[in-house]
Structure formats: structure tokens, C-alpha cells
Amino acid sequence: QVQLVESGGGLVQAGGSLRLSCAASGRTFSNYVVGWFRPAPGEEREFVAAITWNGGATNYADSVKGRFTISRDNPKNTVYLHMNSLKPEDTAVYYCAAKIGAVGIRSYDNGYWGRGTQVTVSS
């Protein structure tokens, strides 16, 4: 059974940093792309960042470019989201998802999803 489990969320002051983890299990993810999402006003899920399991190609939303970095540790089957210079508007539940595809895809509707981890940024 495929499982994605997020962790690392918490409460941080504006300007601070957090590292989120997405631990994957249950299958080989060699052809998969892993993305991070968060709810946003007017959208069910806002794309944040993505990385391919093979090759490590990355993609970012404009709102997080220069502040967030996505990386992977293949032996640990884990994808990380390093979040720096956090803003109150980054407050959300962050979900990771995995799907077969290229790093540029934005729809993970038929993929695997975790249950999310809460990030709260205080001003």
C-alpha cells in the first residue's frame, strides 16, 4: 500500500524557517514526480513546488521562488521542502503528492496524497 506521510510543520515567526518532509513507501517511485500543495483562496489546492524522483528536476510557484527549495533523498525515499523567509501568508496545511509525470504537471488528481502537515507563520 502506497503511503505518503508529511511531517515537520509547526509554528514559526515571520522570517523564520521550517523543513517539511514527505516520506514515501509502498512502491518504487522512479518514474514519479512529487509535489507540494497548499490550499489557497479560490483554489482547492495551490501548487507550491515539485521534483522528479529521477534526475531531480524542480519546479516552483512564483510565490515561493527564492524562498523555498525542494530536494529529495532517494535512499530514504523522502522529499523535503525547505522553507525560508516565511511570511504569514504561507500559513496553510501543506500536502505532498506523487504521480507519474513530468515536473511541470500541475494536476495530481489521480496520484497519491498524504494527509498534510500544518504550518503557521505568526507576524
**% of the chain residues with pLDDT over 90:** 77
- 72-85 confidence digits (pLDDT tens): 998 999 999 999 99
Q: Pick the closest to residue 68 from 105, 20, 4, 108 (CA basis).
A: 20
Please tell me whether residue 89 adopts helix, strand or coil conformation: helix
Q: Look at phi and psi of residue 64 and say left if phi exceeds 0, alpha if psi is from -120 to 50, else beta.
A: alpha
- 43-95 confidence digits (pLDDT tens): 788 999 999 998 889 999 999 999 999 999 989 999 999 999 999 999 999 99
Query: Rounded to 5 degrees, what angle do the CA atoms 102, 103, 108 make?
Result: 80
Give the model's pLDDT for residue 22.
97
DSSP strand pairing (78-83 vs 58-60): unpaired
pLDDT band with cut points at 50, 70 and 90 for residue 28? confident
For CA atoms 53, 30, 55, 77, give the dihedral sign.
positive
